Amino acid sequence: MNEAFSRPVAGQVPVLRLGDVLLVTLQGDLHDSMAHRLQQDISETIVRSGVTGVVIDISGVEMVDSFLGRVLAEIAAQSALLAARTVVAGMRPAVAITLVELGLTLPGLRTALTTEAALESLARPVAGPRSGGGLGESP
């Protein structure tokens, strides 16, 4: 099967590869088992394919609760450990308001208004690590 296309299985979120980026489109509720499977699928696909970015489109999600917020943050953290950047796209204003009201800051998670903007963001080079200033270093 070509990695650029995957057939969604009932109860599973499709993870599509578009060049160096994985595109994940969430629709409706994400239950515990689906969330765990999605995290595993994304991590395995990053390792297997060597992609450098993950776009999670949540435009089809009506409401984000603390569970989904935690899942998104965990996906971003796992992807970062595997050298891939994550961008969440398509957040509705009501979802953003809910996240703020819940006190969820989602560290390490970047956002974009659209999937296209997320893909453009991932296409830009990443600033390199800063040198110096570490503990125990001498000038």
CATH of 15-123, one of 3.40.50.300, 3.30.750.24, 3.90.1010.10, 2.60.40.10: 3.30.750.24
In the predicted model, what is the mean pLDDT of residues 96-121? 89
Residues pairing with 56 in the sheet: 24, 88
pTM over 0.85: no
Query: Is the pLDDT assigned to residue 131 strictly greater than 70?
Result: no
Query: What's the pLDDT at 41?
Result: 94
Residue extents of the structural domains in the chain: 15-123
- The tens digit of pLDDT for each residue in 68-97 reads 888 999 999 999 999 999 999 999 998 888
Alpha-carbon span 29 to 68, nearest angstrom = 9
Query: What's the pLDDT at 11?
Result: 59
Q: Where does the pLDDT of residue 14 fall: very low under 50, low under 70, confident under 90, or very high at 90 and above?
A: confident
- The tens digit of pLDDT for each residue in 23-64 reads 999 988 888 899 999 999 999 999 999 999 999 999 998 888
Residue 50 is encoded by which pair of tokens? 């060597």
Query: Is the pLDDT assigned to residue 3 strictly greater than 50?
Result: no
Query: Is the pLDDT assigned to residue 10 strictly greater than 80?
Result: no
Q: Where does the pLDDT of residue 17 fall: very low under 50, low under 70, confident under 90, or very high at 90 and above?
A: very high
Alpha-carbon span 51 to 19, nearest angstrom = 8
The residue ranking higher by pLDDT, 7 or 85, is 85
For the chain, report the end-to-end CA distance as a whole number of angstroms.
54
